[in-house]
Structure 1
């Protein structure tokens, strides 16, 4: 009987501890990544081009970071995060002290997504879902809800005012792009022969880069089909490598494909294949790293904004190089000069070849992520599982960026110098941004 009394007392104490235990804190990195992926899903639906997707990520993640920062989180100051462009803009900050600036930050991110994307209205339902989730989890109360919504809305509006000044709205007024005439110049590629994508993207304002000329790649190998020339050697490399691919090389190429313009044909019907953008892949990696480190919400918001702004600037620099060189794609020259039946493993994206966008943006992202999380940060990249591809483990961000770069050779869509010089271009951009923010 005495043993039973002791047992009941201990049981009572255990129940009491459970009842009065602190509620489990939210897994903010996972919540943040999940909510950001809701924007990614809309981008896939809209077939957002790689540079446009990067712009969306930049402003949406900036809104979430500004919301948390303006609530007094002493983590990183805006002047370090935004560079010259943001410093030239000002906005009024709502005067409120929030119980959950995290809740308001996600609202701001979703509202920027709603405002900035053609199908952004689909995010209205996602905002309602987030409100229900937050109330159920007691992140906020019904009494506190309105002030949080108003705060997030005001931040989102301020960020969209900044976005209106970056030159995007003026793109449609610029002279229409026409492919250059003559050998060696880019021309639309099969199977859909899509017109050139974002040829005037160099006119968009970067966040950090103050002089685009400082980040131009070294000159590419000139078009020359003479045996032994640099261009011919690289051309033969693409032709040979793609016919001798191992299963691992094919997997690597497909894992990093990230071509939102991929089209399949069934008879006379063209079917778009849903794929994430290159920037979306690196935002996914950022979320994976944040959750592995169990970052605070402020740190999670900061590192996503940092990568988002880095992607934005890297694409502007890369797209300037692409449309200043207007270089032909391997598929076009091989079909014209060597083998009409040859097709690359990956579908050729609809823009000029030099430099490789994956090489530039992957290296720039990897540099800032390495600066933030450290060298040899091991992670399992599950960014592509949603699109039916298996996870891949990496021992560091830099190794992941190297694989992303070489995947373009395996895929048959880039020459070697576009890959190598793209890596150098991205490294220079990434190092500049990290030095300015660290």
Structure 2
């Protein structure tokens, strides 16, 4: 806490690290902000308990995200009002090469904060955004002081600065919570026609299937040039999506929700079991109580294609049909894409592919013609923080998820999307109570 960020500013009066997770590039910090003057009164000091995490984007920029959280070592302070950061962060763009005239390096810094100060703040002041605007000015002055101390001759204005200037002359600054809709139209597939039926499918207005062609994956020359290409058609199609709730964590759903011949888990001797299509099941376990599970079901569009002799089919069978869980942990990759959401959500989620097995705890369950991967979101502080932010805007959020088997050698290139889903403004109120006896009850 002895960095220039803290020693050179008059925004944060007190700061301390409550918990640090170096492997996740995250920590939990306590900030107490100075009281600020909003004519004609002084507004009480605010305090924040923040989850912070950072990541580096493919273009070399850094994103430092922060949002409010709770911590046992951060009780409320009677001398300050506990404010709430709904989402925000810094984006530090790649450094510009040295300018021959000015002889200094520079980067572009963007700060965006969506904050509810809570307590007593005149509603007219709050709605006009002057409270956050005041701290924005303080941050600008702080960063100017830091760069000046380091011998910088010129400082480019922050993105927030233009907003502050517009506000000072009577213009309206952008509303931090406004939705950002991607201008790019991503190709979508028609709903997959199949005889596979589940008992508690989520209404189709909440989900659809984007084309794999809209996702960039590692191309044939990736290990030489880092070039990515549009994926070939996904190997598996989206069958259905379910949303469950329970007082306990929901594990190993399997095919208990499917109806029809061959889907009786309690009678694996049924010859119809061997004839049913293979299912790839993703179970995102959301922490509770109440606990929720978002379950995605995929099946090969053309099983005969996956019997051909190719590197992809070999990798597919090794990962999805083999017995090596460590291989699955190191290879199953998620590519996220926010189609509609606030700035904080778009930057918090990002677009960088992630090997989920190395980020959060997971379990694998193999049955007759299916593989289920259960991802425990609550096992990661960062994942839980992102989830809480997503749930706060879930009814305004549109997000695409694509699953890929990561290529780790030249022979395995190019990559290909396994399956993809679009989640469209999901409402947790549509979750169905989960029962471990569902497989028996459907009979």
TM-score per shorter chain, which class?
under 0.3
Higher helix share: 1
- What TM-score do the two structures reach when normalised by structure 1? 0.26
Higher strand share: 2
RCO (CA 8 Å, sep 6+): is it higher in 1 or 2?
Answer: 1
